[in-house]
Structure 1
């Protein structure tokens, strides 16, 4: 015995320009029948909140599935899975597609090599699925926009809930952020933490979805934007503040990352934000 609810959507071409579009959503629980073998032409995130079952991967292996976990069903990749006999499992699924899926894959939020991902919790992911289900009400004029936003939210929630994901206070990432403005190479950063460069790359990729170089660059450029917008420091001084002794090299990096030179960025955004060294104090309103 099982219970199933599902809806399918047909977004127009303009909605695909949002980056991700939702093609369908479903909520099911109980002794569900097996799915597949089949090969989809889109992505599906299957969130298992309770129960157990099995997943047969393209290499012919059958792997046990135990909640909480995520099944990634990828376009062009055969899949075959099912709930265990008896009580079955509790599942929510979302079908989606769009060019932003490639970016989420590059950032590590979608891992093609891990069709089965253990999760620590499914609360946030189920909340995103519930938003999609609620958006499916009859006559909703913002259906495609709401469901697109919820798919982005779902991918972030699933990335945070991975059992191997570092917690918010990851000490390695915190230490790298603290030392980001020091004139250190990636190898020197690794040595400071008793790691090889390869170990550091693996840890940062797992935690931040990018290389250590990109992680440090993002922090440096972000600080540079704050200084350019909120102070009158010369570009050379800003470069030194964020760890670059060569202003020309800093300007090239900034332009490549932001799409505009530091001087032009300042002309567009200067004096629009408080100094990062003197953040504003927000006083809560007092009740009458």
Structure 2
């Protein structure tokens, strides 16, 4: 016996310009029928939360599926899978131009059709929101479900069994040391790695090079210092790891699209009385409490 619930949608061309659109959602459990062999023209994320089964791709290789696990079904790639004897699954069909970027960043893995998960709870909660948004007559259907697909890809990335929930420990160490004036080779040496090994680890965990990963952290902090303090640009540069303020300014301008002084003019929030002495701490965000009822 098996139970199945599913809905399918047909977003308009304007919705596709949002980057991702949801084409369908479903929840199933029990002794489900085998799927395929078949080939789709869009992506599907199948989250198996209980039970087990098998998956076979175009190379004929037989993968054992043990919950919790994710099955990636990608466009143009034949697939064939099913429970043995039963499993619980939820699935989301989606497409859009942003799938190429998510693939480049490693959130979608066409070459890894079966991905072990540490926990399916977060992904199932997001699919549940898509299912609730799928009620008939919801005027926000396409935008609400499309936004949830972005959330689902993040939830699945966090749930991968081969990574800690917040990413590879190497990434945490790089973030901790990001403001020290170290080269990529020096960062690698600190971790007992070659530069090539560090590049591979950061590419796997963050979808980009170590240099670009560090640059994003440094410029983000520089923006905070420019907006919330009255420190001179040269001092901001030194705080985020650049001894040459001219080089920092060129780098900031190229990446942000405006010079540091211009960014401060637009975003400055310094106040009389010492606010500039209390720089926002990214590891200790304030709690925003809901207003009390009156």
Structure-1-length-normalised TM-score: 0.92
Match of residue 25 from structure 1: 25
Q: Counterparts of 1:84-99 in structure 2 under 5 Å?
A: 84-85=84-85, 88-99=86-97
In the TM superposition, what is the alpha-carbon distance from 1:123 to its structure 2 partner? 0.5
Shifted more, 56-65 versus 165-174: the winner is 165-174
Q: Counterparts of 1:59-98 in structure 2 under 5 Å?
A: 59-85=59-85, 88-98=86-96
Match of residue 166 from structure 2: 168
One of 114, 117, 127 as aligned partner of 2:115: 117
Q: Counterparts of 1:1-288 in structure 2 under 5 Å?
A: 1-85=1-85, 88-168=86-166, 171-271=169-269, 275=276, 277-279=278-280
* Cα distance between partner residues in 1 of 2:167 and 2:53: 33
- Judge conservation of contact 1:201–1:212 (CA < 8 Å) in 2: yes
Tell me the alpha carbon deviations over residues 220-243 of structure 1, each in whole angstroms, 9 at most, x when there is no partner.
001110111112222222212211
In the TM superposition, what is the alpha-carbon distance from 1:69 to its structure 2 partner? 0.2
* Cα distance between partner residues in 1 of 2:16 and 2:168: 35
Shifted more, 94-103 versus 163-172: the winner is 163-172
* Cα distance between partner residues in 2 of 1:185 and 1:118: 34
Distance 1:275 1:91, change over 3 A: farther
Shifted more, 254-263 versus 19-28: the winner is 254-263
Distance 1:283 1:186, change over 3 A: closer
- Judge conservation of contact 2:6–2:27 (CA < 8 Å) in 1: yes
Tell me the alpha carbon deviations over residues 190-249 of structure 1, each in whole angstroms, 9 at most, x when there is no partner.
101111112212222233332211111111001110111112222222212211122232
- Judge conservation of contact 2:229–2:279 (CA < 8 Å) in 1: no
In the TM superposition, what is the alpha-carbon distance from 1:172 to its structure 2 partner? 2.7
In the TM superposition, what is the alpha-carbon distance from 1:33 to its structure 2 partner? 1.1
Distance 1:251 1:279, change over 3 A: closer
SS of the equivalent of 2:91 reads strand
Cα RMSD, aligned residues only? 2.3
Can you give the 5+ residue segments of structure 2 that lack an aligned partner in the other structure?
none
In the TM superposition, what is the alpha-carbon distance from 1:286 to its structure 2 partner? 9.5
* Cα distance between partner residues in 1 of 2:47 and 2:288: 41
Distance 1:52 1:12, change over 3 A: same
- Judge conservation of contact 2:270–2:276 (CA < 8 Å) in 1: no
Tell me the alpha carbon deviations over residues 104-130 of structure 1, each in whole angstroms, 9 at most, x when there is no partner.
112111112111000011011000111
Structure-2-length-normalised TM-score: 0.90
In the TM superposition, what is the alpha-carbon distance from 1:170 to its structure 2 partner? 5.2
* Cα distance between partner residues in 1 of 2:39 and 2:7: 20
- Judge conservation of contact 1:226–1:276 (CA < 8 Å) in 2: no
- Judge conservation of contact 2:20–2:97 (CA < 8 Å) in 1: yes
- Judge conservation of contact 1:46–1:93 (CA < 8 Å) in 2: yes
Distance 1:155 1:181, change over 3 A: same
In the TM superposition, what is the alpha-carbon distance from 1:272 to its structure 2 partner? 6.3
**How many positions carry a matched residue from both structures?**
286
- Judge conservation of contact 1:166–1:207 (CA < 8 Å) in 2: no
